[in-house]
A and B are shown apart, each in its own frame.
Chain A
Amino acid sequence: MRFVFLLAGVVSLAAQPIEFNRDIRPILSDRCWTCHGSDAASKGIKLRLDQPEPVAAARQTIAERIVTTNKAKRMPPLHTGASLSTAEVALLNRWVEAGAPWQKHWAYLPPQRTAGQTIDSLVRARLVKAGLSPAPAAPPETLLRRASLDLTGLPPLPGEYDGMSYEQAVDRMLATARYAERMTAKWLDAARYADSNGYQTDGERQMWRWRDWVLNSFRTNKPFDQFVIEQMAGDLLPNATLDQRIATGFQRNHRGNGEGGIVAEEYLAEYAADRVETMSTVFLGSTIGCARCHNHKYDPFTQKEFYQLFAFFHNIGERGRYFKFGNTPPFLHAPTEPQQAKLAELAAALAAAEARLRPGAAKGPFSWKPTLDLTTPEKYTPHYTARFTIAARFTPPAATANIVSKALPEAESAGLRFNLKDGRLQVNLVMRWLDDALRVETERTLTPGQNYHVAFTYDGSKLAAGIKVYIDGQPEKLRVIVDELNQDFLVKEPFTLNSPEVKIFARALPALDVAFLAGTAAGPEAARRQFLETTDAKAWSEVVRLRRERDAFLDSVPTVMVMQETGKPLDAHVLIRGAYDRPGEKVAPGVPAILMGKPITNRLELARWLVSRENPLTARVTVNRFWQSLFGVGLVKTAEDFGAQGEWPANPELLDWLAVEFMDSGWDVKHLLKTILLSQTYRQSSRVTPELLARDPENRLLARGPRLRLDAGAVRDQALYLSGLLVERVGGPSVKPYQPAGLWKELSGGADYVPDSGEALYRRSIYTFWKRTAPPPTMANFDAAGRETCTVRESRTNTPLQALNLMNDVTFLEASRRLAEKIMTNPAGVAYGFRLVTGRAATGDELTVLLSALERHRATYEKDESAARNLLAHGDARRNTALPVADLAAHTLVASLLLNLDEGITKE
């Protein structure tokens, strides 16, 4: 018997009529459908047991084959390792005898509720059936701490909510920025957010502006349907705002492979598949990813339908090989609000300066100053992320010749080369020839012996598209030979110049400037420029200065990877066995038939459907995840799988009630949370008797309140907060708090982690820099999701490494010291510390233990003051030197004891 049925046994009495979805579907799915499911044909099996008609027709056979003593005929076959228990055989027999009644899988029917119910009435009804009654209400201070940890990720301070009703306190918590941070923390796991690319070298990327967008969404209580639409298709909304486009970073948070030698097509398929799988998990609670290689074994999704979803997500013109370091196109400049203000200011100043130019001279992309950014080969080192221009007068001695280079001597070795090959002008930027290199060449050929002005400009984008080549001031048509530059082409070699007149500029000159350099500028543009240069020099140089200032500022603005349609949809194909190099049938975008009847053709329609009433899943899956974040386990325990192999809801009526309430409220997240938090169900005491524990170990029936260890981020954040170290600043780039030395270096041999200093050490954990191949150790120890792929299920373990972490890590030692200072400067002393950490008064017994510990440690440190000083030296934060050393050390250990209490790291 499986656990699902243990639970079913708890809640349904034996005499209860059989309900297909609850009692029979899970058995069929788990033991039969691997072979007799929607993928049966691929195994040459005719009998389908996932459809009502063939099952009804085969009733007799089914009844016989599951009980026969003939081992060769008995189902499921021995070799599969699957078997049926006696109780399951009995259930199946009862069902077959009753005519094998069938139901559509519950999760694909729209959620419905009957009027007049509440969370509590639905929970009570279930408890009555089980012969249980609810627990009494939790004490007010326990409840307040529970609510505060759930809504803000931080505990209440003593007196913080004095004079407020519980409801008022909840309202106040919901109104804080801390609430937004708490909700964001959960969403980052689901959205597989990280600050690194995740494969091999695992270089840094920049996605924090998307994180800021999430923070802002929760802060302003953006309706959840809008939250979904913007992340899925903000770029396709009419007149999409910058924020709506940033939102689509959700779909670029997946890992990106920059390893040399990978096959680009293989990873293009991975990225699109990751988007499908993330959407399926987080919004549909469906394991559609299983249909990538074959029809889904358990759920009604075909392989073709997987690729119909895939077709929504592979039209953004991305590269299969991501850049090793930094963001990979498509990405946006995503200025923060202050940066936007600064840009607006610069734009206004520029407009004003342009207006001061002589009438009729103010338009055009001109920035000419003959000496601006002109540098010399001795002084200048080009980089792959820098803008530059190289120009020369050149008479080719032969059809193949070097013009300007800064490279190792061997052909095609590392470095920069501007050269002539078989008459064509070439630009080579090479780190390693073939797989880490860039080469473009002109279509036109030069004639040896003839004099030319040649130039190229590079915009620092690492892309062939970022190079322009000019002959005698005219832009040339280029062939892209290799476009795989991924690391800097830097070499120590000096420039080699095969031309008497080489000019190098530390910027990419516009075309007109190159024409001036070549002496071929002509036409009205050129005339206007001449005029400005000669007759309006002062006003003109102000314009130039402001443009440079604006451009430099724009370079400092963060970017974020986003979704951006190419406008030319690529064909999508079923990939046979999921292999990128085996395209099969061509498919059009679409949603699986079981979920949707009408055709959908683009990502925006898909996004809107996700949060429409036609989709039975998103609201259910979402409320279930919120429920999980409060109670530890979802109403559907398998938060990632609402399919046939998922768990039957512990309380289906309650799940549907919440889903409908959520949609009816306009997808109002704060309303949903408040409704749950105000229920008697949530407010129950979490104490448990041995009998109830044996009966319902996971608290699925909700005859008590939740008692759960805090998640990884909250464990650290709380310690910082209670000790007064937490620096509360919302949003911004990621930070690097303490981490033991060597953790990055021992894996890669490259640069090691360098912790920040000052305030950056004390920000909330959602801002901690997340390197996927070496995640922050405290987060990993306390069960944080790995951020490799979408994770929605919460997991908690209890390990010795957590104990070591809490006792010995500098973060918690420093917090203990600061907490000790607070304890010593409060008249209630240790009792105050206990209240801070647990939210309640210590009992006499507890206080006795704490005070005797304090006495003992004080005696120890009075005897050994240097030990005391050593203990107080952990962490950068300054020590209150007014406090006696031995006493502070003793208090530090007591404060550490408090932060290590089971109750301290547990929501009760």
Chain B
Amino acid sequence: MKRRDFLSAAAMATLARGATDFAPKAKRVIYLFQSGAPSQLETFDYKPGLNRMRGVELPDSVRQGQRLTGMTASQTSFPLVPSQFAFRQRGQSGAWVSDLLPHIAKVADRLCFVKSLHTEAINHDPAVTFFQTGFQLAGRPSIGSWISYGLGSENQDLPAFVVMISQGTGNIADQPLYDRLWGSGFLPTKYQGVKFRSQGDPVLFLKNPEGVTAATRRGYLDDLAKLNTFKLNESGDPEVATRIAQYEMAFRMQTSVPELTDLSKEPEQVFARYGPESRTPGTYAANCLLARRLAERGVRFIQLFHRGWDQHNHLPAQIVNQCRDVDQPTAGLIEDLAERGLLEDTLVVWGGEFGRTVYCQGKMTADDYGRDHHPRCFTVFLAGGGVKPGLSFGETDDFSYNIVKDPVHVHDLHATILHQLGVDHTKLTFKFQGRHFRLTDVHGNVVRSILA
């Protein structure tokens, strides 16, 4: 019997698939999504040869007739532009990290850089949707909801899939996000990501209204449970029992979520580690700290979205701010997880939806340039969760335009994330419209070379 098909029957529909296929290396994931697409050229993919080729036309032999976005396709010139920021080799592993990311550079030996990620989409909406769901068009479940469906929750008082959003200081009028990015697609909506917010209630409608105390609410819920129990006995419908249980979980969330989001008891050195912004609710830094607290509480899939990485123009000015937003908090999170022994079974992923072009978009001056979307190669890094630390995997050509060694497709990354969680990506399926759908569609190979 295929258990999950059986479980999809309504009688059991409230249960997740709830089992691994083999022993997991990671129990949870913290996915630090960099929305807008960070430039690999200014961060991790060091291309010293470009310094000598500044302003030279992108050779046709490199472009190979591949498509460009409608924003630059009709540009008459495609001048190469090198990074304005210096690179250095870091730590024992000698990974190249630019000076824009000094804190991340310090933890380089804990990281596994995949420099050969590639995707199929060339614009933000389809590309982010592809990363989140394995498909460019809306309608499929997000990776977090697949995992929530596949593995269920380890914490009865918190959702299995939590999302947090922060605004970047790079390109402040940057690409929007969409609720469907953490939606459950054709999976039941109970698997969708729950957004933790910095404005108003941390979870929508969480707080009792003004005029209702916790004690009053407790009495109210006891009355409700009594009335619903009469109904359960009379109707025989197990949905009533589920409803009673869900109201109880709602009540527990009213305690557990504020306790979780209350950072007042965190010691000074923790804020120092995550950086000054970690005291400001809603920042990437504060969300990183919350991510650690969620990980401690067994939340399965924690996803941060940081906006502002879309540097079509004024890249040098913008990316300084953007990198500052994430540098210390990301490094702080990794160190904090490591110190608490959580990194070994928490898989951390950092990356955007595609890379950026080596050629300049728009006007190129001595200290200003821009870069367009580039799906053919970009860098993502991973840490913890059974991934080899101190590794740089995959290579791009001298222009960071094409991959020359060990390409890793988005589907491969998905397969690898699931694998680390103990899930065979070919077996995590849900039947819809007559098809056994998977996060990886009919593709994906686990990237075994990066596994410890």
Contacts and interface: CB of A to CB of B under 8 A. Distances in A.
A783 B189 contact: yes
Contacts of A1: 1, 6
Contact of B69 (A261, A270, A644): A261
B339 interface: no
B240 interface: yes
Interface stretch (B203-211, B268-276, B343-351): B203-211
Given A799-B190, A868-B211, A901-B224, A2 B6 contact: yes
Nearest to A903: B231
B2 A2 contact: yes
B426 A81 contact: yes
Interface in A721-775: 740-742, 746-750, 772-775
Indicate the member of B183, B208, B224 with the most A CB atoms within 10 Å: B224
B277 interface: no
A825 B97 CA distance: 72
A219 B186 CA distance: 32
A804 B236 CA distance: 25
A262 interface: yes
Nearest to B236: A688
A640 interface: yes
A160 to B, nearest CB: 23
A747 B179 contact: yes
Interface string B255-298: 00000000000000000000000000000000000000000000
A6 interface: yes
A872 B211 CA distance: 8
Contacts of B6: 1-3, 6
A256 to B, nearest CB: 12
A849 B223 contact: yes
Contacts of B183: 786
A503 B270 CA distance: 66
Interface stretch (B43-51, B55-63, B246-254): B246-254
Given A434-B71, A749-B173, A893-B216, A800 B250 contact: yes
Given A435-B71, A749-B174, A259 B247 contact: no
A803 B251 CA distance: 9
Nearest to B137: A270
A797 interface: yes
- Consensus secondary structure, chain A interface: loop
Given A804-B203, A804-B253, A902-B231, A871 B211 contact: yes
Contact of A687 (B180, B216, B236, B307): B236
A433 to B, nearest CB: 8
Interface stretch (B7-15, B84-92, B100-108, B380-388): B7-15
A798 B197 CA distance: 22
B167 interface: yes
A287 B69 contact: no
A807 interface: yes
Contacts of A29: 434
Contacts of A618: none
A298 B70 contact: no
B199 interface: yes
Interface string B423-452: 000110001011100000000000000000
B228 A902 contact: yes
Nearest to B188: A797
Given A645-B434, A800-B246, A860 B216 contact: yes
B67 interface: yes
Contact of B210 (A6, A298, A747, A874): A874
Contacts of A687: 234-236
A445 to B, nearest CB: 22
Contacts of A872: 211
B177 A709 contact: no
Contacts of A775: 179
A698 B238 CA distance: 12
Interface string A691-712: 0010001100000000101000
B434 A801 contact: no
A260 B70 contact: yes
B372 interface: yes
Interface in A610-669: 633, 638, 640-641, 643-646
B367 interface: no
B9 A3 contact: yes
A408 B206 CA distance: 49
Nearest to A255: B138
Indicate the member of A201, A809, A849 with the most B CB atoms within 10 Å: A849
Contact of A874 (B189, B209, B240): B209
A309 B227 CA distance: 54
Nearest to B431: A645
B211 A801 contact: no
Given A640-B433, A747-B165, A856-B219, A867 B5 contact: no
Contacts of A686: 235, 237
Contacts of B224: 897, 900-901
Contact of A849 (B178, B226, B373): B226
A799 B253 CA distance: 12
A780 interface: yes
Contacts of A287: 433-435
Interface stretch (B118-126, B327-335, B395-403, B406-414): B118-126
Contacts of A697: 9-11
A686 B69 CA distance: 57
Nearest to B199: A742
A804 B206 contact: yes
Contacts of B341: none
B22 interface: no
A200 B124 contact: yes
Contacts of B2: 2
Interface in B14-46: 14
Contacts of B175: 200
Contact of A802 (B211, B236, B246, B433): B246
Contacts of B165: 746-747
B72 interface: yes
B70 A264 contact: yes
Contacts of B139: 786, 788-789
A375 B2 CA distance: 74
Interface in A660-688: 686-688
Given A255-B138, A795-B189, A803 B223 contact: no
Contact of B433 (A85, A641, A804): A641
A873 interface: yes
Contacts of B434: 29, 287, 290, 298-299, 638, 641, 643-646
Contacts of B244: 902
Interface in B367-382: 372-373
Contacts of B200: 740-742
A788 B70 contact: no
A298 B206 CA distance: 46
B209 A750 contact: no
A870 interface: yes
A777 interface: yes
Given A1-B1, A786-B183, A871-B209, A261 B197 contact: no
Given A262-B122, A290-B434, 7 more contacts: A257-B123, A690-B236, A742-B200, A798-B14, A798-B243, A801-B205, A893-B216
Please list the 5 inter-chain residue pairs (A to B) with the smallest Cβ-Cβ separation, ordered nearest first.
Answer: A645-B434, A871-B211, A697-B11, A748-B176, A261-B69
19 contacts: A2-B6, A81-B426, A260-B70, A435-B71, A687-B234, A709-B239, A746-B167, A777-B204, A780-B189, A789-B139, A797-B13, A797-B190, A798-B239, A800-B246, A803-B246, A804-B203, A843-B230, A857-B219, A873-B210
